[in-house]
Structure 1
Amino acid sequence: MSRLTVLAGPTAVGKGTVAAWLREHYPDVWISISATTRPARPGEVDGVHYHFVSEAAFDRLVAEDALLEWAVVHGRARYGTPRTPVEEALAAGRLALLEIDLQGARQVRERMPEARFVFLAPPSWEELVHRLVGRGTENAAERARRLETAREELAAAAEFDATVVNVSIPDAAAELVELMRS
């Protein structure tokens, strides 16, 4: 079996963008697809970016213990990692990555302490704010909520085994893969 790598960090730091870069440029890396109760953003595809599920379907996943971790993120939508695909990827010896939030990373640490935990950090607070505003997917109230959460998430960086600063997507992805292969 291979060792699971968990990538977490604050909102708008580029976790999803780094994961998308990995999918395109590092086909040997298996990346988990999370389930979520939030609606798809423009351009997101069900089963590719997330499994978009109803509240009732998510409740069933929780009740069946079919999620490795799950959390309510930003006080709104629930996100979770389906357990079976992760176990299958690890059993097959694949380089396996979870791209999740801080709450989820803490749950995975409880269940799989042998996993490698990598914190994706922004180059600066100002850059994080710029990225969140620049993506234009949240209204002002949602941005404020996410930035409040981001301050708390940034304070948790010391809980992780390694930190990758996301100055550029290709560099952050390459550094992450190097950690996964070590």
Structure 2
Amino acid sequence: MTNSAKWIWVWMVALVLACTVFLIEHQKKIEQGTKMTLQSILGTSLFQIWSHYTDILALKSMPLHEARLAEVRLKLAAIEAYSKTADEAVRSQLLNPIAGKFLTLSDSIRESYAENGEFSEEDVKKYAIIMKDSEALISLMYKVYYDSDSVEGGEVNLDISDYDELVALNNRLKHDLDGFAMK
């Protein structure tokens, strides 16, 4: 092999190595950008969920009323949509089933009111469950979805792991739903 052929091989190997390093670095940048986008989507969804639950809890001290129930129902519908997005971001089914159960409770209350023209004692209990568990859910969201070690406390975690209490809340809601005569 001639000297010039050796140099051509050396330059080809060097070029292949340089291209490989460039592609690896480019892939890392793409993955980092995707992660940041996903964190942004999750953070926005969690903020919207928190905001709507906070709005619902502002009604907690007021007695059950048809207009309040309609407002709660609208907030819960928005929460369900944002919960689906948040669940997809972390590859889980934690928030959306809870929101769905709250919607089922609110729909049951609404149907009972439409049928009877007034709220029953059971309706008031269902409404109280929505309020109580909404309050519990807000603190669980911080615990599960946010990085407690972040400087500002606002960095979301895409890899959630400590979600047993959310599962327990979901199971308790399922049990509560089973205890009521749902329409």
**TM category, shorter:** under 0.3
Q: Which has the higher helix share?
A: 2
TM-score (norm 1): 0.22
TM-score (norm 2): 0.22
